[in-house]
Structure 1
Amino acid sequence: MSRALLDFVVPWLVDYPDEVVITEAEGEGGEVVFELTVHPDDMGKVIGKNGRIIRSLRSLARASGGHDGAPVMVEVVD
């Protein structure tokens, strides 16, 4: 569910939605890690002023739930 939410929301935040890539991996502690790769010009839009946007995305992803109740993390990759 978190993946579908990120797939829907993130392209609406950026100027280059075709360059949004979301990969899913398993972290060391068993958490689900979503890595967002966006166009360099869109990095600021995804992070937001003082990190407000990325914090909101992380909250939404956690609220929508991970796989089998596993914790969810969202990271922006350079």
Structure 2
Amino acid sequence: MKEVVEYIVKSLVIDKDAVKVAETEDETGSVINVSVAESDMGRVIGKSGNIASSIRTIIKSISSRTGKKVFVKFGE
């Protein structure tokens, strides 16, 4: 999942070197933390959070096949 999120986010931002994606797992599922440059945060979140919501929907759709929950969090 981490690779998919990283690919999507890097295709949206200008400063591709500043993209950091980390995945942690616990008993409830996986959490993917996405960090981008402050100037690119608006591109990743989108107007009213539409792009961030779309990324989460794609990841939830993929993860439903494996049967585990995956949460995506965005930050700087």
**Residue 67 of structure 2: aligned partner:** 69
RMSD: 1.8
Which segments of structure 1 move beyond 2 Å, counting only runs of 4 or more? Answer: none
Matching of residues 28-47 of structure 1 within 5 Å: 30-47=28-45
Q: Percent identity?
A: 31
Q: Are 1:8 and 2:7 an aligned pair?
A: yes
TM-score, normalised via structure 1 length: 0.86
Secondary structure of 2:14's match? coil
Secondary structure of 1:26's match? strand
**Residue 58 of structure 1: aligned partner:** 56
Aligned residue pairs total 76
5+ long unaligned stretches in structure 2: none
| Deviation digits for residues 31-67 of structure 1 (CA, Å, limit 9, x no counterpart) | 211000000001111100000000000011111117x
Secondary structure of 2:7's match? helix
Secondary structure of 2:3's match? helix
TM-score, normalised via structure 2 length: 0.88
Q: Post-superposition shift, 1:4? A: 2.0
2 CA distance for matches of 1:26 and 1:51?
Answer: 25
**Residue 21 of structure 2: aligned partner:** 22
